[in-house]
Structure 1
């Protein structure tokens, strides 16, 4: 009986892999932001995603919850300043300054005073750190989370908690006397003062804002990646996590078992999730992206098919396009086929003008149902037929090897296929240790790699 991965295994393994790749700097965070599926949010901005993760962390939640009591004992400094008055005395009179002021008018107005007046200063280093931190939290929960009407958001921030925090931030008399958080630029000296404070309010604010700054700078220390891992599961759909799990495990297999290849950082121009390079080849791993391929087949409306069933289907697509525009005004060119595999691995020969030499198309189904396997199999084999590069079908290109991989979560398949390899997620948990040869389901590598690690 094939074993299914439990939700706990999936979460633990995925977050462990995510932490590893983020710390190594080899994961394309721009591509990752497209993969993190937040129900109710349409966000593919990595910086915003990090802020959301930060605001979902338990440490931030606990800090905000305890804030109403703590802010009553906010620290201030008592200062004195010289102010000019007319006919009244505020504080002690600075006589030397008063006489200088009166002398400017020839001592004609003896009701003018310069008074050394006491005042309470709120804009001190500790409070600047606190207010900037609260501004970062407030703008995120207000702009990104408040309008989300899904259970996962309420598990972190209830409607009542959001309302209380908004009132506190905007109406608290002590916080309002500190400069606007958006205008505050926190200095290293401000951070040092907050860190050394005797009040827990400020040492906690320092800890959180320090974590926030490192998160924003993509400094993925263990505590920062732990924060990301802590908040990953609930806002992300489980099927998407399963897809990421499969991607990460395949990357691990490639990284550990391809001699001469190494994971490389990716610049912002690539949409690959990760890539490995050797002296003569580059491997690109894409998730939720067509990569450098196309899976789109427009309907040729210039020549009606001669086969009666094909002609009828083409007429139906044309009718849909025409009727849609009539009813809604939306234009839609008739499309014979359009799709996108869950995983694409492309291998390029970098010594020959980046020529594509091998491709893996992968379809991932988070299910143990045989019917779902059948659906994934149909999708996968259709991708294989329609995959193109530069308007050429890969299946017709003898210079490109195509592999296909179907991944499920506990489906038992009794036979084997020369065209499609079927694996379960549990196979990937141990595959990095069990493979002693280059896995036959991965796409072809160069001859020198194949010689040192032949296929099964």
Structure 2
């Protein structure tokens, strides 16, 4: 019986806090530790900050709440000659005339009422909107994240923030007199009766803790639990389970990267002699090449190959004629392994070993055999960056691991995930 998603999540949640690919946001109570070494931790926390329901709700409600925008009125007294602006203060007018020229009837002391927009509550509100706008339009690549379900609500909310900063006349007046918002101003605004200002102060206070590195372990744990991105595909989750097992069984000092689908490098670590780079759902670094071009295949005549290439060319032509769209027929074979670990010699920075992992979330032997065939293709057809097959390059060792669920094996599977062992090409791992 296969492990279900909840069982897998429970075992690897601590490592999956860096996962930002396709998935849904929810509460994860399994996160226990936050002392992992994570590259770009500040950016990761800012993204999780955006995923807080409190933050999204604030922006959703902002167009309605802004109608309760508060201003204050100040009374200013001034003296004019020959004109009147405001309400005449007659007692002071008489005193001014007596003091300056009692016969001058054009002297008036006036009370002027001025509307103040840049009060502390509005300064807090403006800074919160500016902070969220800055994260979304400058700090993170929002255009890239639009393809993921967990970010889609921000597609609708981003225009709201932009509208507030560029079109709202009240905030424009606050911005003209903008000053530094102090922690004291935030604390005072937290007690405001207007929910617009209370929510703004709460969000700004949380953000400052993130930005200034003042979040303690409990704060970080709470944020990541509350905004955890769950992988939607259970097969992907099973692949990530084995990624985590490889990390845990080979090092205690891995540096984790944000997993957002750009370079797909999950972790790096090193020992006294080697540097390890672990990739998920990737063709690895530019040092590796998992492709065979049609030009390369054409060099060797075989009836099957000739017919296969002719079929590809015909299909490309028909696709262009019927659908107005073609496809790349320059690739005869291409691969993208589930897991790759590249091992480099520290002193020379040379690639010494490649471990390829193929994962099949199955208890079915036939499906496991498909994974075995795919794994052997990767091992056999892998090239270096110059296009030479690695099995002819005696400087680089290529090994493979097949990861399955509880499959009954004809021989005993290995229980160790030591990346430095030198035994069989294919290692069977079952749980």
TM-score (norm 2): 0.68
What is the DSSP-based 3-state SS (H/G/I as helix, E as strand, rest coil) of the residue aligned with 1:233?
strand
When residues 290 and 83 of structure 1 are mapped into structure 2, their CA distance, relative to the original with a 3 A threshold, is farther
**What is the aligned counterpart of 1:276 among 269, 276, 283?**
269
Matched, 1:132 2:123: no
Shift of 1:373: 2.8
When residues 274 and 234 of structure 1 are mapped into structure 2, their CA distance, relative to the original with a 3 A threshold, is closer
Residue correspondence of structure 1 range 1-12 to structure 2 within 5 A: 2-4=1-3, 6-12=4-10
Q: Which residue of 1 aligns with 2:171?
A: 178
Query: Is the 2:118–2:174 Cα contact (8 Å) retained in structure 1?
Result: no
Matched, 1:298 2:293: yes
CA distance in 2, matches of 1:151, 1:324: 31
Q: Which residue of 2 aligns with 1:384?
A: 379
CA distance in 2, matches of 1:342, 1:185: 52
Matched, 1:79 2:79: no
Q: Which residue of 1 aligns with 2:343?
A: 347
Q: Which residue of 2 aligns with 1:17?
A: 15
Can you list the C-alpha shifts for 1:82-107, whole angstroms capped at 9, x where unaligned?
Answer: 789885431456869x99xx99xxx9
**What is the aligned counterpart of 2:184 among 172, 188, 192?**
192
**What is the aligned counterpart of 1:231 among 227, 237, 256?**
227
Query: Is the 1:28–1:273 Cα contact (8 Å) retained in structure 2?
Result: no
What is the DSSP-based 3-state SS (H/G/I as helix, E as strand, rest coil) of the residue aligned with 2:85?
coil
Query: Is the 2:78–2:109 Cα contact (8 Å) retained in structure 1?
Result: yes
Shift of 1:251: 1.4
Query: Is the 1:358–1:445 Cα contact (8 Å) retained in structure 2?
Result: no
Q: Report which stretch shifted further, 334-343 or 221-230.
A: 221-230
Query: Is the 2:164–2:171 Cα contact (8 Å) retained in structure 1?
Result: no
Can you list the C-alpha shifts for 1:224-245, whole angstroms capped at 9, x where unaligned?
Answer: 4533443333575444444334
What is the DSSP-based 3-state SS (H/G/I as helix, E as strand, rest coil) of the residue aligned with 2:13?
helix
Q: Which residue of 2 aligns with 1:211?
A: 206
Matched, 1:286 2:274: no
Query: Is the 2:297–2:305 Cα contact (8 Å) retained in structure 1?
Result: no
Q: Which residue of 2 aligns with 1:244?
A: 240
Shift of 1:295: 0.4
**What is the aligned counterpart of 1:443 among 405, 419, 422?**
419
CA distance in 2, matches of 1:272, 1:181: 44
When residues 398 and 149 of structure 1 are mapped into structure 2, their CA distance, relative to the original with a 3 A threshold, is closer
When residues 176 and 363 of structure 1 are mapped into structure 2, their CA distance, relative to the original with a 3 A threshold, is farther
What is the DSSP-based 3-state SS (H/G/I as helix, E as strand, rest coil) of the residue aligned with 2:249?
helix
What is the DSSP-based 3-state SS (H/G/I as helix, E as strand, rest coil) of the residue aligned with 1:254?
coil
Query: Is the 2:77–2:112 Cα contact (8 Å) retained in structure 1?
Result: yes
CA distance in 1, matches of 2:178, 2:315: 56
Matched, 1:60 2:52: no
What is the DSSP-based 3-state SS (H/G/I as helix, E as strand, rest coil) of the residue aligned with 1:227?
helix
Give the gaps of 5 or more residues in structure 1: 31-45, 257-261, 423-434, 447-456
Shift of 1:113: 6.5
CA distance in 1, matches of 2:5, 2:246: 19
**Matched residue count:** 386
When residues 115 and 337 of structure 1 are mapped into structure 2, their CA distance, relative to the original with a 3 A threshold, is farther
CA distance in 2, matches of 1:158, 1:330: 31
**What is the aligned counterpart of 2:37 among 1, 18, 26?**
26
CA distance in 1, matches of 2:175, 2:232: 30
- CA RMSD in angstroms, aligned pairs only: 5.1
Shift of 1:338: 1.0
Q: Which residue of 1 aligns with 2:351?
A: 356
Q: Which residue of 2 aligns with 1:307?
A: 302
Query: Is the 1:81–1:116 Cα contact (8 Å) retained in structure 2?
Result: yes
CA distance in 1, matches of 2:46, 2:132: 8
Give the gaps of 5 or more residues in structure 2: 18-30, 423-431
CA distance in 2, matches of 1:318, 1:77: 75
Q: Report which stretch shifted further, 238-247 or 74-83.
A: 74-83
CA distance in 2, matches of 1:360, 1:64: 47
CA distance in 2, matches of 1:118, 1:330: 71
Q: Which residue of 2 aligns with 1:263?
A: 254
